Amino acid sequence: MILITKQESEVIRARYPKADIVRTCIQKSKRHKYYMPERVCFLNLIKDTNAKAAEILNEKKNQREFSY
């Protein structure tokens, strides 16, 4: 699971309405966080705004290049 912002979650949900994005603190507090699974299709949408997403994509790309 990777931490994302509210704006990133809206971008992902616009493209994939049934995305598995989880929000903590169900009450209307301002302490909640958004998490999503590390799926390549989701990470590609936010790689420009989320450094962790870009890092995970690079790792997955390197694993595919060196796997036999």
- Six-digit token pair at 4? 């994302």
Sheet containing 22-23, strands listed edge to edge, beginning at the edge strand earlier in sequence: 2-4, 34-36, 22-23
Whole-prediction pTM: 0.80
Give, for all 68 residues of the chain, the pLDDT tens digit. Answer: 999 999 999 999 999 999 999 988 877 777 789 999 999 999 999 999 999 999 999 999 888 766 55
The residue segments making up the domain with residue 32 are: 2-66
Overall number of domains in the chain: 1
Beta strands in the chain (DSSP E): 2-4, 22-23, 34-36
